[in-house]
Amino acid sequence: MKIIRYPVTQNSSLRAWSAADEYILKELAAMDTSGKTLAICNDRFGYLGTHLSHLNPYTVISYKSQEASLLMNLQNNDVKPDPDKFLNSLEPVPERIDTGLMIVPKSLSLFQFYLQYLHRSLADDGILICGFMTRHFTPQILSLAADYFEHVEQSLAWKKSRILKLKGKKEAPVYEAVESIPFLFRDGIEQEIRQYPGVFSSGNIDYATQFLLENLVIEEDEKTILDLGSGNGVIARAIQLQKAGAEIHLIDDFILAVESSRLNLDPDKAHFHWSDSVEDIGNVEFDLVVSNPPFHFEHEVNSEVTVDLFREVAGKLKPGGRFLCVANKHLGYQPYLKKFFTSCIISSENNKYIVYESKKGS
């Protein structure tokens, strides 16, 4: 089978799967899977879902780009997708499963969220197989697994990867998925910002985001505003506080981010988009787009997605519209922004972060 990544990348070191995925397939090939019900979590580019499509597994989709990647790979390999088998990570599997598969995510709290998710639907005699690259191992992976299962068996390393086989369900521990982060907005309003596991900047509001918010001044005529890569929605919330009448849109690739932001804004007063592309936001053009854009994706750093988003923003701004974007100084985004926008200046900076103000000519 030929598996490729979506979005496509020019970086030949970035792959659509790792040895941990191959190890899971190898393990599964040695098991009797006939008539068994299967669910797959955190299959980022659809490698497992495509290879195991003959078993008609449930696939838990957390990222819109993951769904696009899986659909593309199924199609490229002449497999018809079964939409009833695609679940988002807040929808429980609608039946008992015999086997759960998971690539261990970078965020341990997201690992626990997926453990909780799969454990809930797993048959008492079921098995959960988790794969990871040995260099990403931390002992907490074992201790979290042991909170849910009597038997936690770690394999030998194979091609620098390992798998865990988890059996013997314990009673699930008491679990609260949503964390609360106290935050004081510039106008003196204090609010608990709530977020699901794996959403950007657990434990505190990111310092780059804070720097952006300290310097965010919305102009009088800016009424249609987008928070791009909105995470828990803290930027959109600050905009709402500064400009109550604005039409605010939020977009994020990660379902748990979008659902977090719904907890932090009045859901009737904002438009939430679960998507990885600004172009998916219907027929709206923006006066202002504000962003702390993504550049980390699990264990990878990849500016291609960021630069693509810049290009998309330029296409979605009204003439005269502005794009405010904060970034670590070392990322050096200005040449890219200058390519897509009529002008790009540094509107604020400190020793670590820069806020770029890019404008589209009127």
| Residue 71, CA distances (Å) to 7, 78, 91, 259, 304 in order | 12, 10, 19, 23, 21
Among candidates 136, 10, 17, which has minimal Cα distance to 70? 17
Q: Quick one: which segment of 40-48, 176-184, 246-254, 351-359 binds ligand SAM (CB under 6 A)?
A: 246-254
Which C-beta is closer to ligand SAM: that of 18 or that of 261? 261
What residues from 257 to 286 belong to the interface with ligand SAM (CB under 6 A)? Answer: 257, 276
Q: Residues 22, 206, 247, 300: which binds ligand SAM (CB under 6 A)?
A: 206
Which C-beta is closer to ligand SAM: that of 35 or that of 282? 282
Which C-beta is closer to ligand SAM: that of 21 or that of 276? 276
Which C-beta is closer to ligand SAM: that of 102 or that of 234? 234
Cβ neighbours for 123, distance < 8 A, ≥ 6 positions apart = 96, 97, 98
Which C-beta is closer to ligand SAM: that of 112 or that of 201? 201
Our finding on whether 253 is near ligand SAM (CB under 6 A) is yes
Q: Residues 46, 81, 105, 229: which binds ligand SAM (CB under 6 A)?
A: 229
Which C-beta is closer to ligand SAM: that of 50 or that of 201? 201
What six digits make up the tokens of 260? 């977090």
**To the nearest whole angstrom, how small is the minimum distance from the Cβ of residue 215 to ligand SAM?**
14
**To the nearest whole angstrom, how small is the minimum distance from the Cβ of residue 305 to ligand SAM?**
5
234-238: Cβ within 8 A, 24+ apart:
234/183, 234/193, 234/205, 234/209, 234/264, 235/209, 235/290, 235/291, 235/292, 236/261, 236/265, 236/270, 237/185, 237/191, 237/193, 237/264, 237/265, 238/185, 238/186, 238/213
Our finding on whether 183 is near ligand SAM (CB under 6 A) is no
Our finding on whether 252 is near ligand SAM (CB under 6 A) is yes
Count the Cβ atoms, other than its own, within 10 Å of residue 182. 10
Rounded to 10 degrees, the C-alpha dihedral 79/83/85/90 comes to 140
Our finding on whether 89 is near ligand SAM (CB under 6 A) is no
What six digits make up the tokens of 160? 């620098």
Our finding on whether 209 is near ligand SAM (CB under 6 A) is yes
Residue 97 · residue 58 · CB < 8 Å: yes
**Gap between the Cα atoms of 125 and 118, Å rounded:** 13
Binding mask 141-180 for ligand SAM (x = CB under 6 A): ----------------------------------------
Our finding on whether 60 is near ligand SAM (CB under 6 A) is no
Count the Cβ atoms, other than its own, within 10 Å of residue 9. 16
What residues from 287 to 316 belong to the interface with ligand SAM (CB under 6 A)? Answer: 292, 294, 305, 309
Our finding on whether 45 is near ligand SAM (CB under 6 A) is no
Our finding on whether 99 is near ligand SAM (CB under 6 A) is no
Our finding on whether 198 is near ligand SAM (CB under 6 A) is no
**Gap between the Cα atoms of 235 and 209, Å rounded:** 7
- For residue 57, say if its preceding peptide bond is cis, omega within 30 degrees of 0: no
Contacts with ligand SAM by CB under 6 A lie at 200-201, 206, 209, 229-232, 234-235, 251-254, 257, 276, 292, 294, 305, 309
